[in-house]
Amino acid sequence: MAVVTGVNGRRIIVGVTGGIAAYKSAELVRRLRQKGAEVRVVMTSAAVAFITPLTMQALSGNPVHTSLLDSSVEAAMGHIELARWADAVLVAPASANFLARMAHGLADDLLTTLCLATEAVVFVAPAMNRVMWTHPATQHNCQVLQQRGVRLLGPAEGEQACGETGAGRMLEAEQLLLALGNHWQQGALADCRVLLTAGPTREAIDPVRYISNHSSGKMGYAVAVAAVAAGAEVVLVSGPTALACPAGVECVAVETAAEMSEVVKARAGNSQIFIAAAAVADYRPTVVWDKKIKKDAAELSLSLARTEDILAQVAARSDKPFCVGFAAETNDLEKYAEGKMQRKRLDMIAANLVGPGLGFNAADNALTVFWQGGKQDIPRADKGIVARALITLIAERYHAQSTS
Ligand code: PMT
């Protein structure tokens, strides 16, 4: 993974919506590039009435995206690829109309679709008339967006294009640049290397069969996204899943517990935090048939051997990182989770109830997080929201421990 500082080396989508402040976006794009960011510009149909795509193309050094249904753009870099490509999306200016559409989860143009499809951190820099800004509808929309993790930058107060004075001016390019840079430099996990496991492992029985579990990887991948958003450099060691590697994350694909263990051992010494969200198979067949087993016998017994406990091994190292385990339990959550934390000598453990529709492969989750002398519930919500709350807690405990 390339070394990045501030916005240098970051891939940033600048979204421009319709408003007189759109002229400031040109300077924003110019300064972002000057600071070493790679920039792609997405403009709404209203934005192109204020500033030309040609200007933004010349300043960004990349083709400008204006339409969801533009076949040439879709062929080159479709909206989903664009959403995955970005380390951050900054919508500047963000009009009242755009904020309302985003708050409602609309996907009726390229920019709203991108904001819905991206896992990268999204910033909005509102710009509008002061009455529109203070209107309860706009305030409510901003609140909803912030609760979902969208970062609000500004607006500033001052003289407005309409001749009035008040809050609603878009922040200047330099202020936006600073906020973006601070996000990576002063995030709760800035300068931290986080090693993470996610997904299931597969332990072969014969060339066509294996032992595995229902882990989809969603929880671990969401934690990776949240750690990147907190400024960390993240390495994700993942068993087989259907998920794409999140933006800004270095992914290492493995299949078996032994492979996962090998990669983790090689990387653990270089990490400050290790988070084990993977559902690692506890047992593997002692013999792996080299040919498909024929179903001649009425019964078949498999001899199984314990796999290595990856988390316990990392936690036992002399140079151990801050270790966070997960505990997947169907009952007696608290008792088993605390037992695992003590036995494996962990700094923290995030316990979740699992079963039909719970934990594994679900879109949402609820956690009870334990550490030495403390406990906190993270209520049931989308895994992205739960992951952000977990990362906040991990950052707090990690910093508390490293300063004690
Ligand atoms: O992937 P999803 O579909 O989103 O589902 C999320 C999840 C339920 C898989 C996730 O939230 C979760 O609970 N992951 C841990 C699952 C698990 O294996 O728990 P456990 O209680 O069996 O293991 C305890 C801890 O030891 C875990 O951190 C596990 O990663 C680790 N472990 C276990 C066995 C082993 N051989 N090596 C390990 O590192």
Domain harbouring 127, CATH code = 3.40.50.1950
Beta-strand pair 249-253/165-169: unpaired
Calculate the average pLDDT of the chain: 93
pLDDT tens-digit map of 320-368:
999 999 999 999 999 999 999 999 999 999 999 998 888 999 999 999 9
In a domain, 188, yes or no: no
Q: Which two tokens stand for residue 299?
A: 């019964």
Q: Among the three residues 183, 218, 241, which one is the final residue of a domain in this structure? A: 183
- Within the chain, how many helices (H) and strands (E) appear? 14, 19
4 belongs to a structural domain: no
Secondary structure of residue 279 in the 3-state scheme: strand
Higher model confidence: residue 47 or residue 356?
Answer: 47
- For residues 250 and 103, membership in a common domain is answered with no
Residues 130 and 227 in one domain: no
The two three-digit tokens of residue 47, written as one number: 């934005």
pLDDT at 5 over 60: no
What is the pTM for the complete model shown?
A: 0.70
Name the residue of 311, 332, 342, 390 whose CB sits within 8 Å of the most ligand 1 atoms, as the mutation to test its pocket. Answer: 311
Q: What is the mean pLDDT of residues 249-272?
A: 96
- Percent of the chain whose pLDDT exceeds 90: 78
Calculate mean pLDDT across residues 249-266.
Answer: 96
Q: Is the residue at 6 inside a domain? A: no
Whether residue 175 has pLDDT greater than 70: yes
Q: In angstroms, rounded to a whole number, what is the distance separating the alpha carbons of residues 179 and 185?
A: 10
Q: 230 lies in a domain? A: yes
Q: Quick one: 79 and 155 in the same domain?
A: yes
In a shared domain, residues 171 and 205: no
The one-letter amino acid at 154:
G
Pairing of strands 249-253, 233-238: parallel
Reported in sequence order, the residue ranges of 225-302 that DSSP labels E, i.e. its strands, are 233-238, 249-253, 273-276, 283-285
State the DSSP code for 19: S
In this structure, is residue 241 part of a structural domain?
yes
Residue nearest to atom 35 of ligand 1 (CA): 309
Q: How far is the CA of 293 from the centre of ligand 1 (A)?
A: 29
Q: Helix or strand or coil: residue 32? A: helix
Backbone angles phi, psi at 292, to 5 degrees: -60, 130
Q: Say whether both 176 and 207 belong to one domain.
A: no
Residues 72 and 177 in one domain: yes
pLDDT at 2: 40
Longest pairwise C-alpha distance within the chain: 87
Domain total in the chain: 2
Helix 218-229 and helix 383-403, axial crossing angle in degrees, nearest 10: 60
Among residues 115, 142, 162, 245, the one annotated as catalytic is: 162
Last residue of some domain: 135, 156, 183?
A: 183
Answer yes or no: is 3 within a domain: no
Q: Are 161 and 200 within one domain? A: no
- Per-residue pLDDT band for 3 (boundaries 50, 70, 90) equals very low
Q: Which domain holds residue 61?
A: 11-183
Residue 9 is predicted with a pLDDT of 86
Residue 137 three-state SS: helix
Residues 20, 105 share a domain? yes
Q: Looking at residues 180-194, what average pLDDT do you find? A: 86
Give the amino acid at 163. Answer: G
Looking at 183, 210, 238, which one is the last position of a domain? 183
CATH number at residue 317: 3.40.50.10300
In a domain, 246, yes or no: yes
Q: What is the pLDDT of residues 269-298, one digit of tens each?
A: 999 999 999 999 999 999 999 999 999 999
Structure tokens at 241: 């899943």
pLDDT (tens digit, 9 = 90+) per residue, 365-380? Answer: 999 999 999 999 999 9
Are 243 and 275 members of one domain?
yes
Centre of ligand 1 to C-alpha 199, Å, is 8
Q: What secondary structure, in 3-state letters, does 82-135 show?
A: HHHHCCEEEEEEECHHHHHHHHCCCCCCHHHHHHHHCCCEEEEEECCCHHHHHC
Q: What is the spatial distance between Cα 46 and Cα 274, in angstroms, rounded to a whole number?
A: 46
- Range 68-92 average pLDDT: 81
Residue 1 domain-assigned?
Answer: no
Do 201 and 176 lie in a common domain? no
Measured from the Cα of 222, ligand 1's closest atom is 4
Q: How far apart are CA 266 and CA 251, in angstroms?
A: 14
Please indicate whether residue 218, judged by its CB atom, sits closer than 6 Å to ligand 1: yes
pLDDT at 76 exceeding the cut of 70 = no
* pLDDT classification of 77: cutoffs 50, 70, 90: low
Calpha distance 325→315 (Å, rounded): 10
Same-domain pairing of 164 and 198: no
Predicted confidence (pLDDT) per residue in 112-164, tens digit: 999 999 989 999 999 999 999 999 999 999 999 988 889 999 999 888 888 88
Which of 335, 280, 353 has its CA nearest to residue 312? 280
Is residue 276 helix, strand or coil?
A: strand
Are 241 and 101 contained in the same domain?
A: no
- Measured from the Cα of 257, ligand 1's closest atom is 36
| Residue nearest ligand 1's atom 24 by CA | 327
> Could you identify the atom of ligand 1 that is nearest to the CA of residue 362?
3
Mean pLDDT, rounded, for 213-223: 96
Is 251 noted as a catalytic residue in this protein? no
